[in-house]
């Protein structure tokens, strides 16, 4: 992936979403940081699942062909 095709998205919410989890690395397919409440495991899992889907979608869109 060249420099022109990099996408950086940052979304922040302040408040009760104090916990965060970062997975992946920028150099190996991209990293994802998910904010939420670790006390609500099902909700947090859904956010992680959605983030992985969006990362995959984004990678497909910027893939050099």
Q: Give me the pLDDT at residue 26, please.
A: 78
The pLDDT tens digits of the residues spanning 1-58 come to: 455 555 566 666 556 658 999 888 877 777 889 998 899 999 999 999 999 999 888 8
| Per-residue pLDDT, 11 | 61
Q: Where are the domains of the chain?
A: 3-62
Between CA 64 and CA 58 the distance in angstroms is 12
3-state secondary structure 51-65: HHHHHHHHHHHHCCC
Please, which residues have CB within 8 angstroms of residue 24's CB and are 6 or more apart in sequence? 30, 31, 32, 55
pLDDT at 13: 57
């Amino acid at each position: 992936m060249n420099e022109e095709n990099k996408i950086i998205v940052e979304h922040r919410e302040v408040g009760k979403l104090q916990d965060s989890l970062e997975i992946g690395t920028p150099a190996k397919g991209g990293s994802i940081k998910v904010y939420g409440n670790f006390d609500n495991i099902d909700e947090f899992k859904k956010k992680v699942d959605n983030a992985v889907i969006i990362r995959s979608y984004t990678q497909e869109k910027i893939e050099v062909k």
